[in-house]
Amino acid sequence: MRKRGAGLGLAGPPALVLGLTLAYPLALILGTARRGAGVLASGAFLAALLHTVAIALAATAGAMSLALVFALVLAFAPFPGGRACARVAETTIALPSFLIALALTFAYGSAGVVNGALAALFGPGGPRVDFLYSAWGVILAEITIYMPFVLRPLLATFDAIDRAQIEIAAGLGAGAGVILRRVILPAAVPALLAGGSLCLLLTLNEFGVVLFIGAKGVITLPVLVYDKAIQEFDYPAACAIASVNIGLALALFATYRLLLGRLAHDAVH
């Protein structure tokens, strides 16, 4: 058979474009970072790093849990319109992330529906519900936005589980809890890990949600990079912070690809 790899030259132009407009600029960022490395000892950077990691972990855990619950219901308690619900959730992926952040301010913001209702019930007063302008608001928005990234692989996994296997287990007297622990959850682990690590990557890099919610004191690495470069014109500091952010993201990306490769390998063998 003819070697199809002979066309490798076709990949030259895209590799060249990526090299000149992505790899070269990233190398310049790394080079410039040395001059701004002092910022990495500042409280603002450490706080942003802590916020970024904590928010990403919490949002990912939340998205994984919610996706697991949703997928269990959709796969094992199917009802008319269930799959349409999954598709509605998936349209969130096609829409900008800040849409959800904006919507949450209408629901839970200081002038939102919930506070309006509480003021109508208990008389005027400061906003009674104000979790939105904290890390919790960002986490809630990110769970909503990134849940579909876990839901999709989970549903595919659950749909592939042989229903007879469950019926036999139930016939042998296994309760729902046992079936869940012994049959369903072990099967869900690869999809949960793959979807979860993608979630972690996307939440680490999230920008729009944090900017739109505008919580005082909740600054993440991408927002700090923007502030340093665009508000303060301090490019060396922005480059130093960006280097840390890029390093984190690429390390996580490599882990994710490794995991995907392992999963595909397991699926074949």
Tokens for 91? 């349209």
**What crossing angle do the helices spanning 185-204 and 43-76 adopt, rounded to 10°?**
150
Q: Least CB distance from residue 29 to other proteins, whole Å?
A: 5
Of the candidate residues 111, 156, 160, 185, the single one contacting other proteins (CB under 8 A): 111
Min separation Cβ 188 and other proteins, Å? 13
Residues 33, 239: contact at Cβ < 8 Å? yes
Interaction between residue 200 and other proteins (CB under 8 A): no
Site for other proteins in 11-40 (CB under 8 A): 11-15, 17-18, 21-22, 24-26, 28-29, 32
Q: Tell me how far, at minimum, the Cβ of 112 lies from other proteins, in Å.
A: 8
Q: How far apart are CA 225 and CA 223, in angstroms?
A: 5
Specify whether the CB–CB gap between 206 and 142 falls below 8 A. yes
Q: What is each CA distance from 178 to 84, 165, 175, in whole angstroms?
A: 30, 13, 5
Distance of alpha carbon 42 from the chain centroid? 27
Give the nearest distance from C-beta 52 to other proteins in angstroms.
10
DSSP readout, 166-207? HHHHHHTT--HHHHIIIIIHHHHHHHHHHHHHHHHHHHHT--
The verdict on 1 binding other proteins (CB under 8 A) reads yes
Under rule CB under 8 A, residue 187 binds other proteins: no
- Distance (Å, rounded) from C-alpha 136 to C-alpha 138? 5
Which residue, 41 or 164, is less far from other proteins as judged by CB?
Answer: 164
Number of chain positions touching other proteins (CB under 8 A):
95
Out of 50, 54, 88, 185, the only residue in the binding site for other proteins (CB under 8 A) is 88
Q: Indicate whether 77 belongs to the interface with other proteins (CB under 8 A).
A: yes
In the set 128, 167, 182, 262, which binds other proteins (CB under 8 A)? Answer: 167
Out of 59, 155, 215, 246, the residue judged to bind other proteins by CB under 8 A: 246
